[in-house]
Amino acid sequence: MGFPLVVALVILLGTSLVIYARSTRSDAVAPHLNVGVAGGGGGDHWHAAIGIYNCDHFETDPIVRGDNWPDPSGIHSHDDGVIHIHPFVSSATGTRARLKVFFQTMGLKFTDDELELTNGNTLKSNTDCNGKNATLRVARFDPANPDKPTEIITKNLGDVRFLKDREAFTIALVPDGVDIPIAPTAANLDALAGVDSGQTAVPATTVPTGSTVPTDSTVPGSTTPATTAPSSESTAPTTGSATTSR
């Protein structure tokens, strides 16, 4: 009886160690928890340009939420065409820092087949684009080489990870074989990155579950987002295309 008990104990301990290792592995991978933003320490603070390309043009003001939109994760936007990545919580660090966390924070639906935008448009796969069937995909760029994406992802789009500081993403609804351009704000990424001098975490209980824009946000469809910056953040000018930085 002793031998089977020992084997069972070894299996149990081994399984527990594997589960523990998998649960903590993300914390060893960047982006790390930014306790400096939430209160008194270091951590990573990354930025990635983002643009929404619909068939043959970039959408105007696709993700505009206003200054007071809650942010429980530390992965958000200031209505400037940039994803600001400085995780407040471990669930948004390392391998868990993904596009779906950003869209959850912004209160927008994002799947392999559908993307909601705050300007009132919804991009859906299997729609017509200049006579051809178009589907959603994500193109990852290195802004230092803007002419060609480093990767094009066609499935599990929400699981696309943030791998480093200074990336660019274009979420595109295009037919197969169409060249996807880099997000316009990639050209101003260094200047726009200066917006985040400090952002306070908002408890997860305040995260909106729907996609309704708060009354103090910019009116969807306008070409000029609100320009009043939070008191803890500086205003950064931009010469980019359709988005205005804050």
pLDDT in tens, the chain (246 residues): 787 777 777 887 776 665 544 444 445 688 998 865 444 456 899 999 999 999 999 999 999 998 889 999 999 999 999 999 999 899 999 999 999 999 999 999 999 999 999 999 999 999 999 999 999 999 999 999 999 999 999 999 999 999 999 999 999 999 999 999 999 999 999 888 876 544 444 433 333 333 333 333 333 333 333 333 333 333 333 333 333 333
Whole-Å CA distances, 45 to 48, 84, 102, 198, 217: 10, 7, 14, 10, 25
What is the rounded distance in angstroms from the CA atom of residue 95 to the CA atom of residue 22?
A: 11
Contacts of 178 by beta carbon, 8 Å cutoff, 6+ apart:
129, 172
The pTM is what? 0.69
Whole-Å CA distances, 183 to 137, 157, 194, 238: 14, 17, 18, 14
What is the rounded distance in angstroms from the CA atom of residue 56 to the CA atom of residue 77?
A: 24
Contacts of 67 by beta carbon, 8 Å cutoff, 6+ apart:
216, 226, 228, 229, 230, 246
- Please name the residue ranges forming H helices in the chain: 2-25, 35-39, 99-105, 189-192
25 near 207, Cβ under 8 Å? no
To which residue do tokens 């299997």 refer? 126
Point out which residues pair with 122 in neighbouring strands.
116
